[in-house]
Structure 1
Amino acid sequence: MRGVKKDNLPTKLCPVCNRPFTWRKKWERDWEHVKYCSDRCKKQKIVAT
């Protein structure tokens, strides 16, 4: 079997929309620095400040 079981993926809460989001392969190198679930939430954070 390839990959990681989806049940075991780490999750975080997005500070903008307060929804949980799970680890993605593209975030593998910098998961500890990922704060937002999407570019949309990232942009809303900048506007709200």
Structure 2
Amino acid sequence: KIPETARCTFENGWCGWTNAKDRKLQWTLHKGSAPSERTGPSYDHTYRNET
């Protein structure tokens, strides 16, 4: 079970989460539409809408 303090919508930043420095994959936060078609989700998974 994930602790309640670990839950984050990432709508207001990283909530204390960080990328591992020794990993090739680095997560980024992005606000707005995807840069091109089929490169992002089709809807907002937090609010379940298109914005």
- TM-score normalised by structure 1 residue count: 0.24
Q: Which has the higher contact order (CA 8 A, sep 6+)?
A: 1
Normalized per residue, the structure richer in strand is 1
Normalized per residue, the structure richer in helix is 1
- TM-score normalised by structure 2 residue count: 0.24
Query: Whose radius of gyration is greater, 1 or 2?
Result: 2
